[in-house]
């Protein structure tokens, strides 16, 4: 029986290399990849404004929205996102966030919805859409 002396176990080294590669790919991913992970369905609208963007997704009668800042510098700032199905009250997420406000999901069925978003002093309002 022969043994190999000085061999480095490949399992842990390979695992670390894979984790480093995944971390690099994650860091290089565009910021628009985030809403897809937060909201189910397909993106149907983007509402850009001076300090951010609201991403709107729809699936099976549900509408989901997330507000992202234009610059992700890690600083806490006021952010909000609101979704209102016509005939109902708005569902809102407001607070001091570093990455995003939301997701906020409402069941709209085939009704129109109004989306609003805010990052710092910049705001956007969609009016009634997705009718």
> Do 54 and 64 contact (CB within 8 A), yes or no?
no
- What number of other Cβ atoms are within 10 A of residue 86's Cβ? 12
pLDDT score of 10 = 52
- Quick one: fold of 40-129? Immunoglobulin-like (2.60.40)
> Do 72 and 33 contact (CB within 8 A), yes or no?
no
pLDDT score of 73 = 85
CA gyration radius, the chain: 21
Token pair of 9 as six digits: 């176990």
b/e 19-47 (16+ beta carbons within 10 angstroms → b): eeeeeeeeeeeeeeebbeebbebeeebeb
Q: Per-block average pLDDT, block size 10, for the chain (131 residues)?
A: 50 46 42 70 96 96 96 91 97 96 96 97 96 90
Describe the chain by its helix, strand, coil percentages, rounded to 5. Answer: 20, 45, 35
> Do 130 and 113 contact (CB within 8 A), yes or no?
yes
Domain chopping of the chain, boundaries: 40-129
């Amino acid at each position: 029986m022969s043994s190999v002396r000085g061999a480095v176990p490949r399992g842990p080294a390979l695992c670390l290399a894979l984790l480093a590669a995944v971390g690099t790919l994650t860091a290089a991913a565009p910021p628009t990849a985030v809403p897809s992970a937060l909201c189910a369905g397909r993106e149907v609208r983007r509402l850009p404004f001076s300090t951010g963007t609201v991403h709107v997704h729809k699936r099976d009668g549900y509408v989901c929205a997330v507000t992202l800042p234009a610059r992700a510098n890690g600083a806490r700032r006021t952010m909000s996102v609101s979704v209102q199905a016509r005939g109902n009250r708005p569902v809102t997420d407001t607070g001091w966030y570093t990455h995003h406000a939301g997701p906020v999901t409402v069941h709209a069925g085939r009704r129109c919805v109004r989306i609003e978003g805010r990052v710092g002093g910049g705001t956007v309002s969609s009016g009634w859409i997705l009718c």
